[in-house]
């Protein structure tokens, strides 16, 4: 199959002729993104099973819920690309017939290296052609599914960037986060942005730039140009020429801390300082985004990053609905059964070809899971206003579990993060929120009088 045939699916579906921008400037991941995320923690009581038919009917959900992973918010042109991402990858990678046949086998071997054999993995492993082909066709594809769901549902001002903003993606690999942002945030496509993409693998960066340009050529409108990509070969700490207004990192820090003997709180503080060294201090709206797998260790690390960022003057924009202490800090010495902050959605409506490839590689994925924090620089006024208004006005709950069958109450419950602490939200009014939803409810008249869940210690609150 030649290149024109491989791209015909998109041109035919969109009824347009794609124009491909020219490759851009190079500059001499920190670690590349890790493999698939783990499943979320099991809730107390009786957790509901994963089967879609066993879940509560979510039709006609109240408007007081705001979703985190609603696929309907992904732009239609991007949804088409995500469904057929393998065609774009085949065009860029120029895989032979033999390589395509061996793809499922190589993906399974790479999964073993990324998850079970991490200590033996060499730095810069993404420079190998077979490895990068496997990574892009499985891990990157799944990461794009996760990230586009997340980014397209963030508030518009959460990622508001001005023209000529400088962005830095650390541990960029094949530019997964920049591509996910392009696909999910059409409001940013018209902005003149410069993306410094940093990784140990020059091969991954070069391939990622080709993927980005191929995708951009299919989605650009009149008078729009692709973002400027500057490839930076190096690890976290490598210098770049400009300070960044947006700093992003995907699935990188969990890999770094695995090779360190230092405690996680120390490492979070250390790496926060390194991130801040890249930040544009002159920009009062500078942002930092950290996304990690949804396993307990990574979620604990994200919570520590949140705390360290707040101590450095960056307040969380998402997913946290408050500026109080994180009530889902994960498993600690003081609280070995502590809940960790992660979010998940079912993958049954994911790309059909990706689901089939996953089955062929014996790596079927029923759930997509992540932990993240998006923080914005603050002058202190927002935190002061929050403290003054605490325990008054409406209460925001970030749902952080699937529904739980509360057998004694004959109701469904959900663990949730809130400014009053960890909450077990009891669904008395048929809200049926999904994992990750933001729910608005009434602040209880007396927090002290709320009952506590015996198993988790969470405050029990009717919604």
Q: Give kind and range of the element (H or E) at residue 47.
A: strand 46-47
User: How far is C-alpha 383 from the chain's CA centre?
Assistant: 25
Pairwise CA distance, residues 283 & 127, whole Å: 36
Pairwise CA distance, residues 189 & 145, whole Å: 19
Are the CB atoms for 190 and 160 separated by under 8 Å? Answer: no
Are the CB atoms for 255 and 293 separated by under 8 Å? Answer: no
pLDDT tens for the chain, 463 residues: list them: 444 544 555 666 665 544 445 555 445 444 444 444 333 333 445 444 433 334 433 333 445 799 999 999 999 999 999 999 999 999 999 988 888 889 999 999 999 888 765 555 555 567 788 899 999 999 999 999 999 999 999 999 999 999 999 999 999 999 999 999 999 999 999 999 999 999 999 999 999 999 999 999 999 998 899 999 999 999 999 999 999 999 999 999 998 888 888 999 999 999 999 999 999 999 999 999 999 999 999 999 999 999 999 999 999 999 999 999 999 988 776 676 788 999 999 999 999 999 999 999 999 999 999 999 999 999 877 777 787 776 677 899 999 999 999 988 889 999 999 999 999 999 999 899 999 999 999 999 889 999 999 889 999 999 9
Q: What is the DSSP string of 262-281?
A: S-HHHHHHHHHHHHHHHB-T
Distant-in-sequence, close-in-space partners of 102: CB < 8 Å, separation ≥ 6: none
Q: How far is CA 309 from CA 150, 277, 377, 461, in A?
A: 21, 13, 9, 30
Pairwise CA distance, residues 413 & 462, whole Å: 9
How many of the other CB atoms lie within 10 Å of CB of 232?
A: 22
Pairwise CA distance, residues 254 & 236, whole Å: 13
The residue among 230, 356, 376 whose CA lies nearest residue 314 is 376
The pLDDT of residue 29 is 40
pTM of the model: 0.86
How many of the other CB atoms lie within 10 Å of CB of 227?
A: 22
Q: What is the DSSP string of 284-300?
A: TT-EEEEEE-SSHHHHH
Longest CA pairwise span in the chain (Å): 69
Pairwise CA distance, residues 373 & 40, whole Å: 17
User: How far is C-alpha 441 from the chain's CA centre?
Assistant: 26
The residue among 223, 214, 212, 141 whose CA lies nearest residue 181 is 212
The 10s digit of each residue's pLDDT in 266-289 is 999 999 999 999 999 999 999 999
Lookup: tokens for 135: 């990574």
The pLDDT of residue 371 is 97
């Amino acid at each position: 199959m030649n290149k024109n045939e491989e791209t015909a699916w998109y041109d035919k579906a969109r009824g347009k002729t794609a124009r491909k921008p020219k490759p851009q400037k190079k500059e001499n991941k920190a670690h590349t993104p890790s493999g698939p995320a783990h499943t979320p923690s099991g809730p107390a009581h009786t957790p509901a099973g994963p089967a879609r038919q066993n879940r509560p009917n979510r039709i006609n959900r109240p408007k007081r819920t705001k979703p985190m992973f609603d696929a309907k918010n992904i732009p239609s042109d991007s949804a088409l690309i995500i469904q057929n991402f393998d065609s774009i990858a085949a065009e860029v990678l120029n895989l032979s017939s033999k390589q395509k046949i061996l793809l499922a086998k190589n993906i399974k071997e790479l999964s073993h290296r990324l998850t079970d054999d991490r200590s033996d993995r060499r730095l810069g492993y993404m420079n190998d052609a077979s490895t990068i082909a496997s990574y892009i066709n499985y891990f990157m594809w799944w990461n794009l599914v996760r990230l586009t769901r997340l980014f397209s549902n963030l508030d518009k001002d959460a990622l508001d960037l001005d023209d000529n903003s400088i962005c830095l993606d650390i541990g960029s690999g094949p530019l997964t986060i920049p591509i996910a942002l392009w696909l999910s945030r059409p409001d940013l496509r018209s902005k003149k942005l410069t993306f410094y993409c940093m990784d140990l693998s020059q091969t991954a960066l070069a391939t990622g730039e080709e993927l980005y340009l191929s995708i951009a050529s299919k989605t650009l409108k009149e008078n729009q140009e692709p973002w400027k990509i500057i490839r930076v070969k190096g690890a976290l700490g490598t210098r770049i020429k400009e300070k960044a207004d947006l700093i992003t990192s995907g699935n990188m820090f969990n890999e770094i801390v695995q090779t360190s003997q230092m405690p996680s709180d120390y490492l979070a503080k250390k790496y926060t300082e390194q991130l801040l060294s890249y930040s544009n201090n002159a920009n009062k709206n500078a942002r930092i985004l950290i996304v990690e797998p949804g396993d307990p260790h990574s979620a604990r690390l994200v919570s520590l990053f949140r705390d360290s960022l707040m101590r450095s003057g960056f307040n969380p924009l998402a997913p946290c609905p408050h500026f109080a202490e994180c009530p889902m800090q994960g498993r600690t010495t003081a609280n070995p059964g502590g809940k960790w902050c992660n979010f998940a959605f079912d993958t049954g409506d994911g790309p059909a070809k990706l689901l089939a490839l996953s089955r062929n590689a014996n790596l079927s994925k029923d759930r997509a899971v992540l932990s993240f924090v998006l923080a914005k620089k603050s002058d202190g006024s927002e935190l002061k206003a929050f403290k003054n208004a605490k325990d008054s006005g409406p209460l925001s709950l970030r749902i952080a579990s699937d529904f739980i069958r509360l057998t004694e109450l004959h109701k469904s419950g959900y663990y949730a993060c809130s400014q009053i602490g960890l909450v077990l939200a009891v669904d008395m009014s048929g809200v049926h929120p999904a994992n990750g939803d933001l729910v608005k409810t009434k602040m209880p008249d007396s927090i002290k009088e709320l009952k506590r869940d015996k198993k988790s210690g969470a405050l029990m609150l009717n919604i």
